[in-house]
Amino acid sequence: MCTPAVKQRPNRTTCKKIKSLLLEVFVFVRIYLDRLIDFVFGCYYKSRVQIVPKPSNPIVIESATALAKRIREQNLTSEALVRACIDRIKQVNPLINAVVDERFEDALAEAKQLDERIRNGAVSSEEFAEKPFLGVPFSTKESSACKGMRSTYGLVCRKDKRAEEDAEAVRLVKNAGGILIAITNIPVLNMWQETDNRVYGRTNNPYNTTRDVGGSSGGEGAIIAACGVPFGIGTDIGGSIRIPAFKCGIFGHKPTGELIQTRGLTYRTGKEPSTIMSAGTLTRSSSDIIPFLKVLLDKNVNRLQLDKQVNVKDLKVHYMLSSGDSKMSLLTREMTAAILKVVKHFEVDLKASPKKLIVPELKYGMALWRYWLTQEANANFARDLTDRKGQVSPIWEVLKWVFQCSEFNSGAIFNLIGTYLPLMNEKKARDLTKQLKDSLMDALGDNGVLIYPSAPWSARYHNTSLLRPYNFGYFAVWNLLKFPVTQVPLGLDSEGLPIGVQVVAAPYQDHLCIAVARELESAFGGFVPPFSS
């Protein structure tokens, strides 16, 4: 009698080999699909390239602290500086569409009043010391409340809204002597990788107007890079400071989480129990980061060690070339070379050579970020799209968008669909978050930094983020961990677009990120203007 054959189940080794092979095929296909996307969009945009012109007044290129010093020493008047910034904004904004509301006349009046006080000796040395940005113009994103100015959040249903009072961050910078001059463009509700909405339209990159500026502080990044203002306030919930800083070639610092007051930032009251969002700094010079950050920290300034001297040679430097997440595009050769350039620099100068870090849990970064985003107080994107007066129907909105009848753009629709995708299990998400944080804390300690990729490539053509929506995961993972990160520019790539790296440290070690940023600026030149000198 014949015994029936027993079907053999593939063993674990075979399954792993099959899985590895499928992953290799997926990566191969992904690489060539990314190239095809860039080729197709490049054919459409290639004849439309523009860059911002050189400014007629060179003072707009200087850093905020340098300008404040010149005003303090009476080598420059605040009025002259404000007027130069106004002229520059008027020159570049028709090209990049970064500024969406302004207070030019009020800013000039404030500058003239200050100049009069300085000439009369009414401004004491103590006041100059207490107000490090006295007389220097700044801007902020439209979602940061500025009294009397537009406050739409990119929503058509809020197109007539104006803020009734300043956000706390705005108030603090004004108290430090800054003169608010303008507010800048954002994606709808700050929730997309490209700055575009139905109220104000799209913001263009000053290095190449066919390229995007990132989001959500995209208007800020663009106007600072174009030398319209020397510094500005950003907010960051998933890379919203660092993505525009990277794509516009400037410095962006997201501080250790929950140290800066959030009142007046989008719908926030400042009384929320916990958040992965933080306000932070956008500047053209690393020297502006610490004085600016001190202003925003206010009463929490002593919780960081911003005045502590850092000997960069004593630091433990780690680096990574990938997150391990297969949903995100691989780095181009130029982006990989940028990180290795930094590694090589530190190989020469450090007491201990940089080490490549392996953290397997990082491949879950995007899934974890999505989970923690849902834990934000009052988080409900479908409700926020109605200005919290109802809730939109995803199916109905998608249909309206298909027939070009929706008041929401593509980024908002994609976000809306995304909110209905399944989330990681709560227990798994919390356990993995703890494992990830513990692994990184063990590696970084109180004297280590991680050189981490900013993006697979420099700024891409408008709307291509819709076809590769997960790439902002390189930035987002640091929000859920609430680690401090500084985005550092490293010059331009072969297309003339900015590239750079993120410098990450453990919580409350912001001074280490910033010290490395200053070192890299000194070594590689930092901000490169989008216009020829």
* Percentage of the residues of the chain whose pLDDT score is greater than 70: 98
pLDDT in tens, 473-508: 999 999 999 999 999 999 999 999 999 999 999 999
pLDDT at res. 349? 76
Residues 174, 166: Cα–Cα separation, whole Å: 10
Per the annotation, the verdict on 78 as an active-site residue is no
Tokens 């987002």, located at residue: 476
pLDDT at res. 29? 85
pLDDT in tens, 343-400: 999 998 787 899 999 999 999 999 999 999 999 999 999 999 999 999 999 999 999 9
- β-partners of residue 485 are 254, 504
Per the annotation, the verdict on 141 as an active-site residue is yes
Residues 519, 490: Cα–Cα separation, whole Å: 11
pLDDT at res. 22? 73
Over residues 9-13, mean pLDDT:
69
Residues 482, 68: Cα–Cα separation, whole Å: 31
**Which residue in 78, 131, 141, 454 is the catalytic one?**
141
pLDDT at res. 5? 54
Q: Which of 186, 221, 216 is nearest to 201 (CA)?
A: 186
- β-partners of residue 489 are 500
Please state the φ and ψ torsions of residue 464, each to the nearest 5 degrees. -70, -20
**Which residue in 216, 286, 329, 454 is the catalytic one?**
216
Edge to edge, the sheet with strand 355-356 lists 99-102, 179-184, 137-141, 231-236, 278-283, 251-254, 485-492, 498-504, 448-453, 316-319, 355-356
Q: Any idea what the Cα angle at residue 92 is, between residues 89 and 93, rounded to 5°? A: 70
**Which residue in 78, 240, 406, 454 is the catalytic one?**
240
Residues 217, 173: Cα–Cα separation, whole Å: 17
Over residues 16-31, mean pLDDT:
76
**Which domains are present in the chain?**
49-316+362-370+423-429 (3.90.1300.10)
pTM: 0.95
Q: Any idea what the Cα angle at residue 296 is, between residues 292 and 297, rounded to 5°? A: 115
pLDDT in tens, 162-193: 999 999 999 999 999 999 999 999 999 999 99
Residues 368, 56: Cα–Cα separation, whole Å: 47
Over residues 398-427, mean pLDDT:
95
Per the annotation, the verdict on 355 as an active-site residue is no
Please report, to the nearest 10 degrees, the dihedral formed by the alpha carbons of residues 433, 438, 440, 442 taken in order. 180
